[in-house]
Structure 1
Amino acid sequence: MKRQVAVLAALTLAVSAGCAEKKEQPAAVPTPSASASASASPTASPIAFGPPWHDEVAPAAASVTVGPKGSTCPLPITFSVPAKWKVRAVTSGADRKVGPAVPICEIDAKPAGHIGFLRVWRIEGAAPRTPQITLDAFMDDDGKATERQYRRTKAGPLDSFEASWAGERARRRAILVSSLYGKVLITLDGTDSDGFTAVLPAYQLAKSSANLPK
């Protein structure tokens, strides 16, 4: 009888020790998600391939800088355009105002063999506007503007807000750039879908090279 009690006591101690050892095991650390990345940023703008942004289209080769003081079109910002594009200042901008935007510079692709323009606009008005309200006011006054899409992005190092929409003849693009001297709008105007495709690399160049004047 004493032997049976001793055996039972030994078994009880063994079970208790096993439970204690199990409780002392550290909790497993969760495995990071496969989508997590050390370089990921919640504020980074993802690259958008295909319509409507076409971020896969490489910028054209730079030739002329538009915007420096003393140039054909002195601007609150500077950016590059391809070779042979003709830059001219718009002197009668008030007569061609579109919404809150007054044209101040026009860059014509025709001498380079394309049909289309890059246009630069100064945003007027003392009333505070969100970037989307500013772009909507421009599009509303410009004519047909359907399939509107927007995104926050960068023009060079500068904070910007971009829009893409379907115009009367072709897809349109515009980027609203914040500068020390107010907001500047750069638009891409192609006469048709082929013209839009031909001049898009110039727009990508203007966008990627934008900066404040030195």
Structure 2
Amino acid sequence: MGISARASVVPAALLVTAVLAGCSSPPPSPSPSPKAEAAGKAASAAAADGGTVGGSGSACPLPVAFDLAASWKPKAVHVDPDSELGAALGMQGGVTMVCEIDAKPAGNIGYLRVWQGERSDLTPRQVLEAFLADEDGAEKITYGGTRAGELPAAEAGYTVRSKLLDELKKERAFAVSTPDGPVVVHLGGMDTAEHEAMLPAYELAKKSMRLGG
């Protein structure tokens, strides 16, 4: 059961507390709206002020580290695999949600979510395909190879239907492999406009991705 279409409307605090205890061409670059362009300029100008996540002492210990756009707030997510709710909301396609980075302090409605798995024998493409195979309602999936900082990566753009607004909206994710297991970084959003406005933060995470802290 997928999370993205539903979890984009589940408050982070509820999610954390409740679960605590093929197309081979590259995905097309979305045409940014004026809001997205403005957000991109702001993110580029203030990227250094957002700090990093994944390093030693950060809010989310991860096998990778990447830079955050200004005012985006990371918070670790702890999923109980024995909980039915935890499995439904925090586990997808062989990876488990470990970090949620909230855009609301930056003025947008959505999250960057980081998922981690245990199998080190899978390629980024295999990881991403499994993740999206378990995504409820994913349509028009376009896969492509890319790089996430220093790491080979697979990326996908797709649409899901928002149950809140009853309309299709864009989502995006990329996956990398690490010695400590695969990592998926996913960007949803309340709707396509919010998704596009948050793309600069997603691109910053991808561009600055590196192993360890």
Q: TM-score, normalised by structure 2?
A: 0.70
Partner of 1:79: 66
Using the alignment, how far apart are the partners of 1:87 and 1:78 within structure 2?
Answer: 12
> Does residue 139 in structure 1 map to residue 124 in structure 2?
no
Alignment partner of 1:107 out of 101, 104, 124 = 101
Partner of 2:79: 92
> For residues 137-193 of structure 1, what are the alpha-carbon distances to aligned partners after superposition, in whole Å with 9 as ceiling and x for unaligned?
222322011111111110001111111111123111111012232211000111101
Could you list the runs of 5+ residues in structure 1 that have no partner in the other structure?
1-44
Larger Rg over CA atoms: 1
Could you list the runs of 5+ residues in structure 2 that have no partner in the other structure?
1-24, 163-168
Alignment partner of 1:122 out of 109, 116, 122 = 116
Using the alignment, how far apart are the partners of 1:113 and 1:71 within structure 2?
Answer: 22
What is the CA RMSD across the aligned residues, in angstroms?
2.6
Equivalent position SS for 1:173: strand
Is the contact between residue 90 and residue 103 of structure 1 (CA under 8 Å) also seen in structure 2? yes
Residue identity in the other structure for 2:157:
S
Using the alignment, how far apart are the partners of 2:59 and 2:122 within structure 1?
Answer: 30
> For residues 1-47 of structure 1, what are the alpha-carbon distances to aligned partners after superposition, in whole Å with 9 as ceiling and x for unaligned?
xxxxxxxxxxxxxxxxxxxxxxxxxxxxxxxxxxxxxxxxxxxx989
Aligned length: 166
Residue identity in the other structure for 2:53:
V
Is the contact between residue 125 and residue 153 of structure 2 (CA under 8 Å) also seen in structure 1? no
> Does residue 191 in structure 1 map to residue 190 in structure 2?
yes
Is the contact between residue 95 and residue 131 of structure 2 (CA under 8 Å) also seen in structure 1? yes
Using the alignment, how far apart are the partners of 1:141 and 1:51 within structure 2?
Answer: 27
Partner of 1:182: 181
Describe the shift of the 1:137–1:46 C-alpha distance in structure 2 as closer, same or farther (beyond 3 A).
Answer: closer
Is the contact between residue 106 and residue 119 of structure 1 (CA under 8 Å) also seen in structure 2? yes
Equivalent position SS for 1:182: coil
Is the contact between residue 93 and residue 102 of structure 1 (CA under 8 Å) also seen in structure 2? no
Using the alignment, how far apart are the partners of 2:95 and 2:199 within structure 1?
Answer: 21
Query: Which moves more between the two structures, 87-96 or 183-192?
Result: 87-96
Using the alignment, how far apart are the partners of 1:89 and 1:82 within structure 2?
Answer: 17
Query: Which moves more between the two structures, 162-171 or 92-101?
Result: 92-101
Describe the shift of the 1:210–1:70 C-alpha distance in structure 2 as closer, same or farther (beyond 3 A).
Answer: same
Equivalent position SS for 1:167: strand
Query: Which moves more between the two structures, 90-99 or 194-203?
Result: 90-99
Is the contact between residue 67 and residue 76 of structure 1 (CA under 8 Å) also seen in structure 2? yes
Using the alignment, how far apart are the partners of 2:211 and 2:64 within structure 1?
Answer: 5
Partner of 1:68: 55
Is the contact between residue 93 and residue 103 of structure 1 (CA under 8 Å) also seen in structure 2? no
Partner of 2:12: none
Is the contact between residue 102 and residue 112 of structure 2 (CA under 8 Å) also seen in structure 1? yes
